[in-house]
Structure 1
């Protein structure tokens, strides 16, 4: 049924210009805007992600975008240098002082952070 179409994901932001700055400058992704105010993130080796403006945006309480990395410490350190603040969690997904959940073989090492609209993103080692 969906074999002939490209499947993609999308989520809202409250300010497209702030989002564009964050996704290009901080995350280093290529971004393309369209005249309707939508923004497409070009994801290397994957489908693109559509971001759209929403005035009464409320961020989802879950991860909307996962960014695989080879070295999580290197990725986290690089993002911290760019001003990113990593989330701190306790319990089953407890994070270390840098914000990394060390899965110890029980899943991927992962660290969560937010974009300017409050959407939760992650870097993780697959």
Structure 2
């Protein structure tokens, strides 16, 4: 039923302008549309990302969105850090921390938060 339908990621934020600055300037996403100052839509590859104003912003304690960046993970992580992104460091079974990137086998992953505390990540592998 839904397997051939496009999915849209929804990310709750408190201040739409602060979030827009982060998603545009820090992450480099380009605004696709704005709906009444309450929702901004971005496109990342074939995925739509909607940030929307909500009183529940930042309440999710798990990863909200992950980008598969392939072998560019080290470069992208370094670029994000240069833009002020602070990476999360977790003690996870089977993963070792190499700088800001967790590695295990062929997989590398780095987690960070947006201004509302939503957990985002980049992954390779």
TM-score exceeds 0.5? yes
Partner of 1:90: 91
> Is 1:17 paired with 2:17?
yes
> Greater share of strand residues, 1 or 2?
2
Partner of 2:49: 49
Distance 1:116 1:30 in 2: 18
Does the Cα contact within 8 Å between 2:14 and 2:116 map onto a contact in 1? yes
Distance 1:94 1:42, change over 3 A: same
Partner of 1:67: 67
Unaligned runs of 5+ residues in structure 1 are none
Distance 1:53 1:81, change over 3 A: same
Distance 1:38 1:109, change over 3 A: same
Distance 1:5 1:77, change over 3 A: closer
Does the Cα contact within 8 Å between 1:11 and 1:50 map onto a contact in 2? yes
Does the Cα contact within 8 Å between 1:88 and 1:95 map onto a contact in 2? no
1:36 deviation in Å?
Answer: 4.9
Partner of 1:7: 7
- For the residue of structure 2 that corresponds to 1:118, the secondary structure is coil
Q: Could you state the TM-score of these two structures normalised by the residue count of structure 2?
A: 0.86
Distance 1:53 1:16 in 2: 6
Q: Could you state the TM-score of these two structures normalised by the residue count of structure 1?
A: 0.85
Distance 1:36 1:83, change over 3 A: closer
Root mean square deviation of aligned Cα: 2.0
The count of residues paired between Structure 1 and Structure 2 equals: 123
Distance 2:7 2:82 in 1: 34
1:96 deviation in Å?
Answer: 2.2
Partner of 1:115: 114
Distance 1:110 1:27 in 2: 16
